[in-house]
Structures are given as C-alpha cells and as structure tokens.
Structure 1
Amino acid sequence: MEHGLPSTTKPSLVKKINNAQDVSKSWWRILALICTALLIFWYKTTHIQFEDTDLEESDYPIDMAKESEPVDQKLKGLPRGIIEPRTDLELKPLWSSSSLRSKGVEMTNRNLLAIPVGIKQKSNVDAIVKKFLPANFTVVLFHYDGNMDQWLDLEWSSKAIHIVAQDQTKWWFAKRFLHPDVLSIYDYIFIWDEDLGVENFSPERYLEIVKSEGLEISQPALDSNSSGIHHKITVRSSTEIFHRRVYISKGNRKCSYASVDPPCTGFVEGMAPVFSRAAWFCTWNLIQNDLVHGWGMDMKLGYCAQGDRTKNVGIVDSEYIFHQGIQTLGESGHSEKKIRRQSTWELQTFEERWNKAVEQDKNWIKSNNRRLRHKRTQETATPA
C-alpha cells in the first residue's frame, strides 16, 4: 500500500528549501549593502555640492546673481553686428578730415606705460616719458597728489592720459583703470614707479630682448648703486643680456640651480614690472581690490607667467634702470609709519587669502603639483 511506503523525498525537499532561503537571504544582504553604499554616495555628493554652493554664495552675494548670467543674455537686445566688445586708452580727436574718416584709424601704439606721479618727481617723470613716447607707447599718469595742472606745460602732456585721485597707490589705480579688456590691444604693459632713472634704458631694445626670450613677466635690472635693493636677483649683471635666476651660497636664503621658488627665480619686484597681455590679464585678477599696497603679490606673480615661471620670468641686464628710492606718497615720517603698519597688515591678509584659496581649490593643487613634478623630471645640469 502506498501509504505504507517509507518517505525518501521529505529530507531532500527540506534541504532544498533551506538552501533557497539561504540564497535569498544572501541576495537581500547584498542588496542592502548596495543600497547603503548608494545612500552614502548620495549623501556625500549632496554634502559636497551644498558646501560648494555655500562657498559660492559667501563669495558672491545674492544681489550679484544677476551679474553672473551669460553675456549673450545681456546682449540679446542688440543685433550682433553692432556689438563692440573691446576698447582701449587711445585718445581720439574731436573731428577728423573726410579722407581720414574713410581710411579709418590705424593703431600704432601697441604698448603702454603707466606711472603713479607726484609733482615733486616731475623732472624725473619727464625724462621717463620722453624715452617712451618716441617708441609709440601710450602713456597714462596717475596723479596721486591731486595736482595735474602743473604738468600741462610739458610738451607731451596733451598726449598722455591723466587720471587724478588723492593719496591713492599704484595698485589702486591699476585695479580700477587698467582692466584687461581695456588693455587688450597692447602687447606689453609697463607699470612703473616714478623714481626710476632711465639713462641706460631703451624701450625698443628692451622689448626686442623680452620678445626673443619669451619673457611674459620681466623687469629691467637695477644698477648696483641703486637705493632700496631688496633682492639680489634684481641687481644688474654686467656680463649678461638677461638672467632668470640668482645663485646665493651664503646667508639664510640659499639659491641654486635646483631652486624653483622666488626670489631665487621666477621673480620681479613691484617697482618696475613689465607684463605681456596674457600675464597682465592674470595679474589684474590677482590684485586684491582692497589691498592697495600690493605687499606679498610679487612672490606670486610667477603663477601668472603663462607656464614655467623659471623660464617665462626674467631680469633684463643690458637695459637697466637706477632706483632712487624716493618716498613721496605719504612722505612725512608720521605717515610713513602708518603706511608701513597698513602694508604689513595687508601682507598678512593677502597670505591668509592665498592659503585659504589654495586649500579650497583641490584642482589647483593637483595641477600645480603635476607642473612641479614635470619640471623636476625635465631639469638638466645646464643653468639658464
């Protein structure tokens, strides 16, 4: 009888059911792990995006949001053919002859000289400008003492652009009046102090050297007898046409061929810098709007050299200047102390901002580290 037969299938069936349950539990565990990982990934991504958004909002307040909309949207009310996207600092006549109007105006000034000036340095500035105007430079004078009328008797005065603001510094003027969009037609921008002797300097020969050597940021070397020499790299070498680095074996700061940081290499000082158009675009963005003395900025200019600062930054020895070291802006002893305190505070503030910016910009850190590693592998034993 069938009901009397022994059952051989029940244990096997139970085993299969248990195995199926184990597999099902394993899949559920795997699915739970996957879901947990996805949740963690979603949370971290959302958190990072929130931090980035929070950072952007702190840097760019809500009332600036409309300013960040695409340029095309702001110009959509104009036909494309009428849009003139750039300007310059060239003086224009109030009227011109019909023949000149039909030909148009040919741009001859492709370089620019900008100097902050006070009336006490009038004769020295006169000598500087007389060197540059014949070389087809556009000249901009920033009058920091409010005195412009006493310059009008100079023969070239009407050819220069005069901007007046009381007790303002070179970098204050540069940030506000030398925007890269305004300087886009100029190949090189000279932003000099007023107390420079130019007896041994030729703008034409200087530019020939800068162009041939690919120097994006440069300065003329300083006569060794100059006042206020702060860094040995800026001192003229009588045996060189130009140099990119300095070698120092004594003292606290040593400079060798292995040095990659300023002021051993990739360095110019703030008294007489010269920028290519591209380098000035970068430098203008480096200038802090509220830090008007520019302290600390010279150590960072190499980052604007459009590549390797040890190659694209240099000092021109064959065309050199004499730094007189005359303090005229805030020249009284009492004011000078206050200016130095302000400058020291600005230096600290600038360094704090730089360090914070580097810490927050992970992409910049990676890119900069790659450049340094690449440079070290490419170095040879032959000095520049």
Structure 2
Amino acid sequence: MKATMFEVSRASRACLCSLVVATAFICYAYIFGGAWLGKDSYMVSKVLNQSRTRPHVDKCKDKCRPVGSETLPRGIVSATSNLEMISLSGRVFDNENSVKAKSLLALAAGIKQKNLVNEIVRKFFDNDFVVMIFHYDGIVDRWRDLEWSDRAVHVSAMNQTKWWFAKRFLHPDLVAEYEYVFLWDEDLGVENFRPGRYLSIIREEGLEISQPALDPGKSKVHHRITVRNRRIRVHRRYYRAGRCEGNSTAPPCAGWVEMMAPVFSRAAWRCTWHMIQNDLIHAWGLDMQLGYCAQGDRAVKVGIVDAEYISHLGLPTLGTHNTMNPDLSSLSGLAKNSSNSKLESKSEPESESSMVTSTSTSVLSDSDNRQAIRQRSYAEMRSFANRWKRAVEEDACWIDPFRQIETE
C-alpha cells in the first residue's frame, strides 16, 4: 500500500525534528563540554606544575633558619660570634674555616689580685687561648701596664660574680667557636699547671666537664674529691665510708667538680649556660646538677685531672675591694674559718621568698660584707633547689636519666 502525502510529510517533519535535536545536542556538548575539558585541563596543568615545584618548596621548608634571619639568604647569615680582636686595616680573610681552633679563659678579677691573675693569664696566652677578664671592682686602667692587657677582652661591672658575667657575656652563640671554656676564679696558683697538656688529657679522656686537681698542701679544700691523687692521671669519683660507697654514682661522690675552676666543652657549656639563673649570681647548688650537662653518663664524662693541678688560695676577694688597704692576713683568717662552709649540713630547701636580699657594701665592713655574701649564697642554694624541684614536677615530658641508671 502506498503511503499518503500526509504520512510522507509527517515522516519528513519527524526526521527533520530529530536532526535538529541531535544537532542542538551536539552543539551543546561541544560548547559546554569543551569548557569543562578546558577547565579540567587547566587544573591538571596546575597540579602538574605544583608537583614539579613541590620538591623545592619542601626542601626549603625543611631547612632550619635562625629566628630573625628568615628574610635573608642563607649564605649571608652569621649565626654565631666570637671574642677575637679584628685589625682595623690589612688583609681580609675570606676563609673563616682556616682559623685554628682555640679555647677561652674567662676570669673574674679584682685589682688586688693583679699579680696572681698575671701569672694565670700569661700561661694561657702562651697556649693560644682567648682571654676575657671580668672586672668586679670597676678598675680596668690599672691593668694596662701588663703586656697582654691589650690582647684581652675586658668587661667591667661593680660587685658582680663571675656567674653574673658569664650569663650575660658568654652566651653559647658567642663562644661557639671555642673548643673549651675555662671559667675560673682569680685566687688560683698555677705554678704546676700547663694549659696545653691539660687540653690534651681531657680530650683523650673524653671529659666534657672537668677541673684541675687541688694541691692539698697549698689549697683551701672544700670537698675531698678535688684533692690531687699523685698516682693517677684523672679520677672521676671519691670513696668515703658511709657516704660515698663503691656503688655511689651521684654528686659529690661522682660526676662532680667544684665551681672555682670548672672547664666545659662547647656542648657542655651550651647546656650549663641555660641552667644558670639570671638572679642567682653565686650559683650555689648548680654544681650538684652539672652532670646533666655532661653529654652522657656523668660518672664517665665528668672528672678531676690529677696530672695538671692547681692550688686554691681561698682568698675572700669579692666584696672586700671597698677598703683601700685591707688587712689580707685577717681576711685569710676569716676565709679559713669559713672555708669548709660548703661541707656544713644543708637545711631543707626553703621558699624563694626567704632569700637574703643584697646589702649595700658601702655601709658594711669587709667582715660584715663577707658574712652577708655567705648568707646570700646559702639562700641562693635553697632557692635553686626549689626551682629545680618545681621544674621537674611541672615538666611531664622530662625523664631523669640518672635515676634510671641508679635503679638498674
């Protein structure tokens, strides 16, 4: 049967309509699909570019920079310093790594002990040390006649201890270039001491914190562990029935030095500096905790060097310089009566509020002033013990390494 004209026309219109719809769909897909594909292509390209640059970003992110230097190129940052004297003219040395390793002697001094200090400093300068003098009496010009004076760094502040000076002028970043830091008092005899050989011994023995032994015939001895043993080169502990038995590992039986002539390695000093309190300037009690800065087992890394020894004269110098001509014989007698003060029984730690406040030296006699200084020292020891105890209690993450050793 043949189709009618109407049916043919209707079929043609239907086909044309389908063609228009299909064409419209294709155009829609082309326009909007292309836009989507273009956006996706852009995102893919962006991700690829980020993946190419991320190693650089991550590499730079992982690099530690000293605080405050983030806006500087890394190579220009000089993060540490030193106490070297620099010439105003002449050749500039570009290769700083070629500088020979040195150590530092920092010495608290008053003009009344000028002769003793001169003997000490001359030995150290002869062994390539840098020397820094802390003048606690404010007198500097009267040292100018000594041949080494212009080569030393002089720092002056009235009535301050070497620990006050050290906290403020021996920051670890300032002395980072020095292999060892000798932080000594002025009343020491060094006729039997050779700095160069001492350095060789502590390097070989692996001592991070040390001191020369004391000649008992010429020294004021506070703790028996510091007395020289003539038969050995180094000792690290002291035996005493009832207190320092064979298994004792804690100070002052082991892992301990006294504070008149300590010697610190670079790493040990960085730790010790952080432990020095700003306001506890006599540093009593600090010696009992120095082992925590020994970079390992204090019974091994802390020791007394017997082969190179000194004498500790025990002169009560700090606090006596207000009198123009003090009677040193009477002062020596006072020192003798108080030389074993650190051996006296220590009371339980008291509140920091009980600390004895400083008394103006201008209204005190020398003997009264020395007594006030001793009282202040004991108060500081109690205060430091309180702070240590509180710090341990508050730091939930801290683990006492030596308590673990003692309990094993």
TM-score bracket for this pair, using the shorter chain length: 0.7 to 0.9
Aligned-partner Cα distance in 2 for 1:323–1:203 = 16
Q: Do the aligned partners of 2:138 and 2:157 also contact (CA within 8 Å) in 1?
A: yes
Aligned partner letter, 2:385: E
Q: Do the aligned partners of 1:116 and 1:194 also contact (CA within 8 Å) in 2?
A: yes
- Report what 1:323 is aligned to: 312
Find out whether 1:342 has 2:376 as its counterpart: yes
Query: Which of 1 and 2 has greater Rg?
Result: 2
Q: 1:311 to 1:73 in 2, by over 3 A?
A: closer
- Report what 1:312 is aligned to: 301
Find out whether 1:278 has 2:272 as its counterpart: no
Residue number among 89, 110, 117 corresponding to 2:83 in the alignment: 89
- Report what 1:53 is aligned to: none
Which SS does the other structure have where 1:365 is aligned? Answer: coil
Aligned-partner Cα distance in 2 for 1:368–1:362 = 17
Quote the offset at 1:75 in angstroms: 2.3
Q: What CA deviation, in whole Å up to 9, does each residue of 1:292-345 have, x standing for no partner?
A: 001111111111101100000000001000111111111210111111111111
Quote the offset at 1:289 in angstroms: 0.6
- Report what 1:38 is aligned to: none
Quote the offset at 1:107 in angstroms: 2.1
Aligned-partner Cα distance in 1 for 2:183–2:66 = 33
Q: Do the aligned partners of 2:111 and 2:137 also contact (CA within 8 Å) in 1?
A: yes
Which SS does the other structure have where 2:287 is aligned? Answer: helix
Quote the offset at 1:359 in angstroms: 1.4
Which SS does the other structure have where 2:398 is aligned? Answer: helix
Quote the offset at 1:110 in angstroms: 1.2
- Report what 1:355 is aligned to: 389
Deviating more after overlay: 277-286 vs 359-368:
359-368
Mapping of residues 118-137 of structure 1, within 5 Å: 118-137=110-129
- Report what 1:245 is aligned to: 237
Aligned partner letter, 2:214: L
- Report what 1:143 is aligned to: 135
Mapping of residues 1-384 of structure 1, within 5 Å: 74-97=68-91, 101=93, 106-108=98-100, 110-249=102-241, 254-331=243-320, 332-365=366-399, 367-373=401-407, 376=408
Aligned partner letter, 1:92: I
Aligned-partner Cα distance in 1 for 2:400–2:118 = 48
Which SS does the other structure have where 1:189 is aligned? Answer: strand
Identity of aligned residues (%): 53
Which SS does the other structure have where 1:356 is aligned? Answer: helix
Q: Do the aligned partners of 1:169 and 1:292 also contact (CA within 8 Å) in 2?
A: yes
Q: Do the aligned partners of 2:101 and 2:179 also contact (CA within 8 Å) in 1?
A: no
Q: What CA deviation, in whole Å up to 9, does each residue of 1:354-382 have, x standing for no partner?
A: 11111122332364443444xx4xxxxxx
Aligned partner letter, 2:380: E
Q: What CA deviation, in whole Å up to 9, does each residue of 1:257-295 have, x standing for no partner?
A: 200111111010000000000000110011001100011
Aligned-partner Cα distance in 2 for 1:273–1:211 = 15
Aligned partner letter, 1:350: F
Q: What CA deviation, in whole Å up to 9, does each residue of 1:16-49 have, x standing for no partner?
A: xxxxxxxxxxxxxxxxxxxxxxxxxxxxxxxxxx
Deviating more after overlay: 330-339 vs 169-178:
330-339
Aligned-partner Cα distance in 2 for 1:219–1:315 = 5
Q: Do the aligned partners of 1:242 and 1:317 also contact (CA within 8 Å) in 2?
A: yes
Aligned-partner Cα distance in 2 for 1:143–1:320 = 25
Aligned partner letter, 2:68: K
Q: Give the aligned CA root-mean-square deviation in angstroms.
A: 1.7
Quote the offset at 1:82 in angstroms: 1.7
Quote the offset at 1:79 in angstroms: 2.4
Q: What CA deviation, in whole Å up to 9, does each residue of 1:185-237 have, x standing for no partner?
A: 11110000001000000011111110001000000000012343111000001
Aligned-partner Cα distance in 2 for 1:262–1:104 = 40
Q: Do the aligned partners of 1:108 and 1:136 also contact (CA within 8 Å) in 2?
A: no
Which SS does the other structure have where 1:306 is aligned? Answer: coil
- Report what 2:9 is aligned to: none
Q: 1:101 to 1:216 in 2, by over 3 A?
A: closer
Unaligned runs of 5+ in 2: 1-63, 321-365
Quote the offset at 1:256 in angstroms: 2.2
Give the TM-score normalised by structure 2: 0.71
Q: Do the aligned partners of 1:109 and 1:137 also contact (CA within 8 Å) in 2?
A: no
Q: What CA deviation, in whole Å up to 9, does each residue of 1:136-171 have, x standing for no partner?
A: 100000000000000000001111000011111010
Aligned partner letter, 1:361: D
Q: 1:73 to 1:240 in 2, by over 3 A?
A: closer
Deviating more after overlay: 207-216 vs 75-84:
75-84
Which SS does the other structure have where 1:284 is aligned? Answer: helix
Size of the aligned set, in residue pairs, is 300
Aligned-partner Cα distance in 2 for 1:157–1:314 = 32
Aligned-partner Cα distance in 1 for 2:183–2:136 = 15
Give the TM-score normalised by structure 1: 0.75
Aligned partner letter, 1:86: T
Q: Do the aligned partners of 2:239 and 2:246 also contact (CA within 8 Å) in 1?
A: yes
Which SS does the other structure have where 2:296 is aligned? Answer: coil
